[in-house]
Amino acid sequence: MTTYEFPRDLHAAQMRLHQARAAQEALGKTLPWSVEPAEGWSAPVTQQGGEPRSLPPSPGYTEAEKTEIARLRAEVLALSITVSTHPYWGTCTNGLVGLRMALKHFHGPAGAYDEAA
């Protein structure tokens, strides 16, 4: 059983990163299939036996949706940089990949992380 102790600010940044990614994914599921208005399309069955496909016309993203998706992308990028360049990683002599994975998959309160939990 391995226990890790992550700095609180690193843990907090990782948790905010999880939240920002979840918000970005949730928003993406509500958006039209095309950023710009686009006509719908339809494709028949292919010779290779593929299924026919079609998409309805897309109204495109509203300005508010474009702004919000850009904000979330920027937040995810900034938090990814914060987590990946945190000074804590420079203090780790071995097992860096395991430590990064432990932090990435730990969703509990800050402090000790028990790998067997």
pLDDT reading at 2 higher than 90 = no
Predicted model pTM: 0.79
Residue 70's pLDDT is what?
98
pLDDT reading at 71 higher than 60 = yes
Q: How confident is the model at residue 46 (pLDDT cuts 50, 70, 90)?
A: low
SS (H, E, C) the chain: CCEEECCHHHHHHHHHHHHHHHHHHHHHHHCCCCCCCECCEEECCCCCCCCCEEECCECCCCHHHHHHHHHHHHHHHHHHHHHHCCHHHHHCCCCHHHHHHHHHHCCCCCCEEECCC
pLDDT reading at 61 higher than 70 = yes
**94 vs 8 pLDDT, higher one:** 8
